[in-house]
Amino acid sequence: MVRGGVGGLSKCGKKMSLKVVMLTWEFPPRIIGGIATHVYNLSINLVKLGVGVHVVTCDFPNTPSYEVVEGVEVHRFDSYSIPTPDFAAWVQLMNLNMQRAAAQIIKSERGGSLIIHAHDWLSAKAGIGLKHLNRLPLVSTIHATEYGRRGGVFSDYNRMIHEIEVWLGSESKRVICCSRFMAEQVNKVLGVPYDKISVIPNGVDPSIFTNLKGVEEVRSRFAERGERLVLFVGRLVVEKGVLVLLEAIPKVLQKVDAKFVIAGDGYLRGEVVKRIAESGLGGKVHVTGYLDADTLRRLFLAADVCVIPSLYEPFGIVALEAMAAGCPVVASDTGGLSEIIEHEKTGVKVYPNNPDSLAWGILRVLGSKDLVELLKKNMREKVEREYKWSTIAQATKAVYEAVLQLSLH
Amino acid sequence: MRVIILSWEYPPHVIGEMAWYVRELARRLRKGGVEVYVLTYAPWEERVDLDEGVVVKRVKPPISVTTNIVVWSLLFTTRLQIAAADLIYTLGSVDVVDAHEWITVDAALALKDRFEVPFVYTIHSLEKHRSANSAAPLNIAIESIETLGCREADCIVVNSEWMRGEVSSKVSGVAGKIRVVEPYTERWLEGVLEAYRSVVKR
């Protein structure tokens, strides 16, 4: 006879160890989007709470197929590097290998309380297959939706991804979203009922900004003495609002002398460079491309203001990083940003897609030392209170425990 | 003996000859005293039928549109995995999974990994013949699944000596587990049963 299912309690009623198998297509040092950093921080903090964590992820050059990172067991599988007809086909083939790798781990872990945790549609196939074959509870985190990324569902390709997301939502015992905005989207667009959704924010580790040397040196690379420094960090794509920023820059420069750093890369980079040259702002704007973490962290410390003019933002991790670094934030009042930023308490909110409003916000921060002091104090408190990874791991563990309780009945 | 046959074609969902082949094989196995469960694609609604003693369960993939057969098949096979796993949990065990063509390899592998059910891979044709050796990414991806199926199968069934040669020259090290069974002959049922018996753990 085959036996499936999960036992939260052993026969003698003693609580057994809680373990999770994390399915993620990226994990450091393989970093493509935001999921790698998220899963890394979540995993190491779950371990600190006594949860056993196996991360099953794609291989990466010069990186071992098995290693223990701060207590987290990381298993890297062959991520199927042969040609495939499109990205979605690669994802499914990669999932075939992901599922096989995870199946071996689950086999060796039977007896305790085991949870499968899938991140985005990128691990839907493996997560759902493992759930049914092993009769284990599936939790998923939906970081973003195809509908949100594209502003709708237009092509067969979009629809296919959207349908995989719907499938993942319906198969998950619980869906974690990083903001109320995303929870609403997952409810309305993917049809996941609210009583299955938990909102747990992303986190930030403030210690990455402490005791950094060479901040002045980095600042001097981008701004003269007497110039203020305005920082934009994000992919150069329409939804991040970089074109709105370009329109706001001359309005800011009419009032104060400043340099603007646009850090990040994307399909709009050529357009951004062209528009800057055409408007004669070349001397005032640095388009740096993708910056390494060391430089970027120092820029957050060196900048007078960080602008986040996004049109669509499921969460807004840049806002957290700026806040943890003590850099005042001017952000669009949209998506997850609306929930992180409290106007004139932990940042300044401006109207989305409105260059006048954005320029006003930047000048508001640059023009008031009192406001900046207040923001810095409140930002630190808010980061400590709500966005520490230990707090987030605690909330995630509570979700696992709730799901295991459900599985017992 | 209890067997799960995985095939994406089964009448009335007929793409090629394989649909008729699988149905005839399933019926002959049933008459020969084998408990047969066919898991296949549901062109309309999901349903379970009894076809001359053969239990036929039809499932749908989780997507209604696709950009190519590789994505489609690998999402369809997760639904096959689920149907097969539910069956195994209900029945307690099955003796062998007979997976037809590359499309169902993923499901057979998942079942083998989890339940240690022996995996017979029945190859009707190879991608290199269907696509005239095209090296487009689609064909490369399909060929890689065929290779994976050949390596991982406990037994490979082909229908001619010529195919035996084609398969053994395509994937090295698998020649020893290939069996030739000619369909629609007196020896068909016995040949397939011999293939099953060669892998059943008892």
CATH of the domain at B163: 3.40.50.2000
Q: Which residues have CB under 8 Å from B72's CB, separation 6+?
A: B61, B63, B66
Print the domain residue range for B26.
2-199
Whether A8 has a pLDDT exceeding 50, the answer reads no
Residues 20-79 of B with CB under 8 A from A: 62-68, 70-71, 74-75, 78
Per-residue model confidence (pLDDT) at position A149: 81
So where are chain A's domains? 18-203+388-408, 206-386
Same fold, A18-203+388-408 and A206-386: yes
Whether B122 has a pLDDT exceeding 70, the answer reads yes
pTM of the predicted model, to two decimals?
0.91
User: B165 touching A, CB under 8 A?
Assistant: no
ipTM: 0.97
Once rounded to an integer, what is the mean pLDDT over residues A339-350? Answer: 97
Per-residue model confidence (pLDDT) at position A81: 87
Whole-Å CA distances, A27 to A42, A63, A194, A390, A394:
11, 11, 29, 19, 21
- Is B66 in Cβ contact with A164 (below 8 Å)? no
Gap between the Cα atoms of A43 and A119, Å rounded: 13
Q: Which amino acid is at A316?
A: G
Per-residue model confidence (pLDDT) at position A13: 42
Q: How confident is the model at residue A2 (pLDDT cuts 50, 70, 90)?
A: low
Peptide bond into B12 cis (omega under 30): yes
Strand, helix or coil for residue A182: helix
Domain count, chain B: 1
CB-CB neighbors (< 8 A) of B115 in chain A: 2, 133
Q: How confident is the model at residue A409 (pLDDT cuts 50, 70, 90)?
A: low
User: B134 touching A, CB under 8 A?
Assistant: no
User: B4 touching A, CB under 8 A?
Assistant: no
| DSSP-derived pairing of the beta strands A197-199 and B47-51 | unpaired
User: B116 touching A, CB under 8 A?
Assistant: no
CB-CB neighbors (< 8 A) of A163 in chain B: 62-65
Average pLDDT, chain A: 93
Once rounded to an integer, what is the mean pLDDT over residues A132-152? Answer: 93
Q: How confident is the model at residue A11 (pLDDT cuts 50, 70, 90)?
A: very low
Per-residue model confidence (pLDDT) at position A33: 80
A234 within 8 A of A308, measured Cβ to Cβ? yes
CA angle at A135 for the pair A129 and A140, rounded to the nearest 5°: 60
The CATH H-level superfamily of A206-386 is Glycogen Phosphorylase B; (3.40.50.2000)
Per-residue model confidence (pLDDT) at position A112: 78
Whether B186 has a pLDDT exceeding 60, the answer reads yes
Q: How confident is the model at residue A227 (pLDDT cuts 50, 70, 90)?
A: very high
Q: Taking CA atoms, what residue in B is nearest to A94? A: B74
User: A96 touching B, CB under 8 A?
Assistant: yes
- Count of CB contacts below 8 A, A vs B? 106
- One of 3.30.930.10, 3.40.50.300, 1.10.260.40, 3.40.50.2000 is the CATH number of A18-203+388-408, namely 3.40.50.2000
Q: Give B139 to chain A, closest Cα distance, Å.
A: 8
User: A83 touching B, CB under 8 A?
Assistant: yes
- Is B67 in Cβ contact with A160 (below 8 Å)? yes
User: A153 touching B, CB under 8 A?
Assistant: no
User: B185 touching A, CB under 8 A?
Assistant: no
Assigned token pair, B39? 């898991």
Once rounded to an integer, what is the mean pLDDT over residues A282-298? Answer: 94
